[in-house]
């Protein structure tokens, strides 16, 4: 706000009026007083920015007025009008804080200059004041901010879901939040600044963190790790923890431990696994029910045909019916065996055998069936793959499962004139293992089937598949220390590659039966 | 002359069972192993009734059924759906197909869920022919 209000004081009313008129025309707001006493009243009422006063007045003179005004408000500018050569009064006025002097008779220019100077002074003072005020504000704000931050930090530590314990360079505890109190079961009041690491932690744990502090030259924190924390009250708690070793200018400053209580998470994990298992059981049961129903259909149908054969003495019916029954009994037997294999652990029984011969056996088993559906079975056996110590039963069952799937994959692809081929090949792997590949140009798999292959009871074949074949195959192969790889393309076919490492340690005197 | 009944099923066990039931009840059995063969057989032999499996390779039973019901010359042939699939799932896939193809076919005359007693099958056939 520009200084704009001026009080003019003189006992000579003419002078006051003249000055007042001239200042008004310059845009000032003016007030007049004809004595010191009156001036003081006007001053109190209107708080002018600048007072222009004659020095010589009856009653309260200019000097007295100056003194009173400065007492009321030292910021106000007072310009003194003196008679020519009145040095003494001038000096006194200066001592009282007058801001300027003009000589009588007052000339407009001189007054204008004095007023300008006063105004500049006021505005500088105002700027200074606002600047100081700003500065104070800023300092206050910064102080608040710092307080807020440290409060925030305290709150953060206090309300953290992690237990936080920090030690200073003498291993005194300086931070210990409520979560930490929950784990260590000691009140913060009894711990903070009163205990050292050795009184809070077990000796082993204290030792462990002391070592950490020694070993760690920099402040890089270590990744989260898991452990079972033992407290001094012998409670065992599964936790995830992280440690920060603090340094300042290479000087050890302390250490911060963060602990997350995993008890609840572990419990949830267990629950989840349990419920997943239950879901798998549900899926298993319904998949199985379907398959068993199909076997039942076969058995019922077969026994009816046998009944008719017996009644009519019809040998042909008897044979057909009996074959149906036998086939379905075999399906039950296979299913049972698959389930047992899947549910029981089994050590491979390795013996000397010729992998290529096992391929021959499997091919013999499926060729007729495949041929009756226009599927050609070929084998490419690597002569390098000689006698090896492997479990022939693992190879036999795994291969048979893979080949059956390959044949079924061809049956599923409904392409009239396609020449379906299932190719079984062997070779000696670089690491000496036996490698078997079963390749078909059947239906192949989409991404979903591909990912579900090994889930128990997953079958895309409705009641005609158990969804156990690959599961059992994988289990047998893994028990043998081997692997299965799959390469597939929907509509074009698949390759299943099985690698079996030679079994070490087994006697090489087993007979070669397959 | 005995009536001709065609059984279309890819499972030889089911075929021999149905054939035996048919023979025992003085029908003339005809067999087909998949949908394509089934359609050929129907066109050639004009059976009086078709017993149709749903899940088969080479043109499923669903496809064959739709072919029959949308062919003016064949739509009158009664069809018994004979399958291990629950009727509910069958109707669901029918509905999906209808929406997809925009044509509606009548529900099968009779829907039998395997396994069935021979007498049930005979009763079902007798209802139609
Ligand atoms: N060679 C293959 N080509 C295409 N799909 C296959 C092949 N092998 C396995 N699958 C898929 O994996 C599923 C699971 O196979 P498997 O465990 O042997 O059970 P099942 O043969 O009884 O269905 C099959 O239903 C099929 O969808
Ligand atoms: Mg299989």
More confident residue, A476 or B108: A476
Query: Ligand 1 center to residue A499 CA distance, Å?
Result: 19
Q: State the pLDDT at residue A213.
A: 81
Average pLDDT rounded to a whole number, residues A225-252: 86
DSSP character string of A448-494: HHHHHTTSTT--SSGGG--S-HHHHHHHHHHHTT-EEEEEEETTTEE
Residue of the CA atom closest to atom 12 of ligand 1? A453
Q: Is the pLDDT of residue A511 over 70?
A: no
Q: Is the pLDDT of residue A512 over 70?
A: no
Q: Is the pLDDT of residue A170 over 60?
A: yes
Q: Which CATH architecture has domain B4-116?
A: 3-Layer(aba) Sandwich (3.40)
Average pLDDT rounded to a whole number, residues A496-504: 91
The complex's ipTM works out to 0.85
> Closest Cα of chain A to B46: distance in Å?
24
For the record, the structure tokens of B73 come out as 């010359």
Contacts of A195 (CB under 8 A, 6+ apart): A172, A173, A186
Top residue of A302, A304, A374 to mutate, by most chain B CBs within 10 Å, is A304
Asked whether the bond before A105 is cis by omega within 30 degrees of 0, the reply is yes
DSSP character string of A68-113: HHHHH-TTSEEEEEE-TT-HHHHHHHHHHT--EEEESSPPHHHHHH
Q: State the pLDDT at residue B93.
A: 67
Contact assignment for A321 to B16 by CB distance below 8 Å? yes
Per-residue pLDDT reduced to its tens digit, A57-114 = 999 999 999 999 999 988 889 999 887 667 788 888 888 888 888 888 888 888 888 8
The chain B residue lying nearest A324, using CA atoms, is B13
Closest CA to A242 of A198, A200, A209: A209
CB A407 within 8 A of CB A375: yes
Q: Which residue among B57, B58, B84 places its CB closest to the CB of A463?
A: B84
CA A120 to chain centroid: 61
Per-residue pLDDT reduced to its tens digit, A447-463 = 988 988 888 778 887 76
Q: Is the pLDDT of residue A416 over 70?
A: yes
Q: Which percentage of chain A shows pLDDT scores above 70?
A: 92
Under the banding of pLDDT at 50, 70 and 90, the label for residue A513 is: very low
Distance CA(A225)–CA(A227), nearest Å, equals: 7
More confident residue, A207 or A342: A207
- Domain residue ranges in chain B: 4-116
Under the banding of pLDDT at 50, 70 and 90, the label for residue A381 is: very high
**pTM for this predicted structure:** 0.53
Per-residue pLDDT reduced to its tens digit, A257-270 = 889 888 887 887 77
More confident residue, A335 or A403: A403
Contact assignment for B20 to A308 by CB distance below 8 Å? yes
Asked whether the bond before B115 is cis by omega within 30 degrees of 0, the reply is yes
Asked whether the bond before A338 is cis by omega within 30 degrees of 0, the reply is no
Average pLDDT rounded to a whole number, residues A348-375: 93
Q: Is the pLDDT of residue A508 over 50?
A: no
Closest CA to A14 of A22, A25, A2: A22
For the record, the structure tokens of B23 come out as 């023979």
Q: Is B86 helix (H, G, I), strand (E, B) or coil?
A: coil
Q: Is the pLDDT of residue A308 over 60?
A: yes
Q: Strand A493-500 relative to strand A483-489: parallel, antiparallel, unpaired?
A: antiparallel
> Closest Cα of chain B to A300: distance in Å?
7
Q: Is A244 helix (H, G, I), strand (E, B) or coil?
A: strand
Q: State the pLDDT at residue A383.
A: 93
Average pLDDT rounded to a whole number, residues A109-131: 84
DSSP H or E segment with residue A361:
helix A355-372
CB pairs under 8 A between A and B: 56
For the record, the structure tokens of A252 come out as 């050890």
Contact assignment for A324 to B84 by CB distance below 8 Å? no
For the record, the structure tokens of B90 come out as 């069958």
Closest CA to A68 of A38, A103, A91, A30: A38
Identify the residue whose tokens are 């075929």.
B15
Q: Is the pLDDT of residue B100 over 70?
A: no
Distance CA(A151)–CA(A139), nearest Å, equals: 18
Q: Strand A434-440 relative to strand A493-500: parallel, antiparallel, unpaired?
A: antiparallel
Q: Is A456 on the interface with B (CB under 8 A)?
A: no
Under the banding of pLDDT at 50, 70 and 90, the label for residue B59 is: low
Q: Which domains does chain A have, with CATH numbers?
A: 5-129 (3.40.50.2300), 160-261 (3.30.450.20), 266-343 (no CATH), 351-512 (3.30.565.10)
Under the banding of pLDDT at 50, 70 and 90, the label for residue A117 is: confident
From the CB of residue A216, how many other CB atoms can be counted at a distance below 10 Å?
A: 18
Q: Is A462 on the interface with B (CB under 8 A)?
A: yes
Residue A320 with chain B: CB contacts under 8 Å: 16
- Nearest ligand 1 atom to the CA of A406 is 1
Under the banding of pLDDT at 50, 70 and 90, the label for residue A507 is: very low
Mutate to test the pocket of ligand 1, among A405, A450, A452 (most ligand atoms within 8 A of CB): A405
Contact assignment for B57 to A412 by CB distance below 8 Å? yes
Q: Is B114 helix (H, G, I), strand (E, B) or coil?
A: coil
For A466, counting Cβ atoms within 10 Å of its Cβ (0-12 exposed, 13-18 middle, 19+ buried), the class is buried
Q: State the pLDDT at residue A509.
A: 44
Residue B115 with chain A: CB contacts under 8 Å: 293, 296-297, 300-301
- The answer to which of A187-196, A277-286, B52-61 has the lowest mean pLDDT is A277-286
Query: Ligand 2 center to residue A460 CA distance, Å?
Result: 10
Which ligand lies nearest to the CA atom of residue A444 in the structure? 1
Q: Which residue among B13, B24, B58 places its CB closest to the CB of A298?
A: B13
Residue B14 with chain A: CB contacts under 8 Å: 297-298, 301
Q: State the pLDDT at residue A84.
A: 64
């Amino acid at each position: 706000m520009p200084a704009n209000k001026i009080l003019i004081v003189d006992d000579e009313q003419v002078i006051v009026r003249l000055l007042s008129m001239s200042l008004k025309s310059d845009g000032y707001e003016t007030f007049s007083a004809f004595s010191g006493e009156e001036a003081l009243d006007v001053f109190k009422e209107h708080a002018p920015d600048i007072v222009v006063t004659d020095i010589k007045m009856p009653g309260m003179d200019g000097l007295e007025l100056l003194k009173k005004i400065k007492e009321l408000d030292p910021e106000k500018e007072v310009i003194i009008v003196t008679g020519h050569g009145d040095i003494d009064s001038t000096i006194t006025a200066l001592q009282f804080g007058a801001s300027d002097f003009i000589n009588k008779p007052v000339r407009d220019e001189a007054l204008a200059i004095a007023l300008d100077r006063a105004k500049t002074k006021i505005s500088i003072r105002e700027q200074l004041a606002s600047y100081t005020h700003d500065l104070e504000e800023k300092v206050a704000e910064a102080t608040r901010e710092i307080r807020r931050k440290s409060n925030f930090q305290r709150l953060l530590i206090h309300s953290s879901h992690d237990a936080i314990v920090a030690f200073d360079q003498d291993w005194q505890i300086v931070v210990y939040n409520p979560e930490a109190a929950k784990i260590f079961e000691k009140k913060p009041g009894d711990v903070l600044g009163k205990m050292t690491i050795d009184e809070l932690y077990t000796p082993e744990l204290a030792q462990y963190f002391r070592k950490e502090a020694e070993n760690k030259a920099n402040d890089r924190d270590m990744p989260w790790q898991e452990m079972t924390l033992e407290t001094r009250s012998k409670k065992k708690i599964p936790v995830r923890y992280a440690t920060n070793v603090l340094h300042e200018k290479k000087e050890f400053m302390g250490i911060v431990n963060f602990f997350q209580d995993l008890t609840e998470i572990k419990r949830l994990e267990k629950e989840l696994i349990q419920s997943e298992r239950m879901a798998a059981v549900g899926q298993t049961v319904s998949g199985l029910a379907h398959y068993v129903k199909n076997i039942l259909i076969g058995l019922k149908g077969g026994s009816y045909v046998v009944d008719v054969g017996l009644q009519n003495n019809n040998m042909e019916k008897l044979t057909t019916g009996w074959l149906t029954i036998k086939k379905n009994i075999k399906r039950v037997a296979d299913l049972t065996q698959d389930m047992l294999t899947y549910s029981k652990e089994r050590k491979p029984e390795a013996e000397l055998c010729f992998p290529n011969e096992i391929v021959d056996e499997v091919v013999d088993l499926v060729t007729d069936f495949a041929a009756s559906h226009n599927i050609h079975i070929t084998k490419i056996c690597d002569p390098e793959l000689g006698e090896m110590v492997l479990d022939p039963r693992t190879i036999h069952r795994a291969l048979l499962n893979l080949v059956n799937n390959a044949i079924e994959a061809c049956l599923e692809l409904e392409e009239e004139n396609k020449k379906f081929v299932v190719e079984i090949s062997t070779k000696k792997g670089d690491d000496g293992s036996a490698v078997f590949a079963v390749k078909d140009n059947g239906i192949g798999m989409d991404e979903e089937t591909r990912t579900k292959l090994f889930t128990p009871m997953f079958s895309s074949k409705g009641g005609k598949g158990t969804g156990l074949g690959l599961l059992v195959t994988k289990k047998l192969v893994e028990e043998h220390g081997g692997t299965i790889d799959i390469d597939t393309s929907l509509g074009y076919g698949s390759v299943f590659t099985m690698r079996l490492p030679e079994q070490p340690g087994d006697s090489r005197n087993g007979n070669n039966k397959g | 002359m005995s009536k001709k009944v065609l059984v279309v099923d890819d499972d030889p066990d089911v075929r021999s069972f149905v054939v035996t039931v048919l023979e025992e009840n003085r029908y003339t059995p005809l067999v087909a192993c998949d949908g394509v063969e089934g359609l050929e057989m129907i066109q050639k032999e004009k059976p009086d009734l078709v017993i149709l499996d749903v899940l088969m390779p080479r043109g499923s039973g669903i496809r064959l059924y739709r072919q029959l019901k949308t062919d003016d010359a064949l739509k009158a042939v009664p069809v018994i759906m004979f399958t291990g699939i629950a009727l509910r799932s069958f109707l669901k896939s029918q509905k999906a197909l209808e929406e997809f193809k925009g044509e509606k076919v009548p529900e099968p005359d009779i829907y039998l869920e395997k396994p069935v007693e021979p007498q049930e099958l005979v009763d079902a056939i007798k209802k139609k022919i």
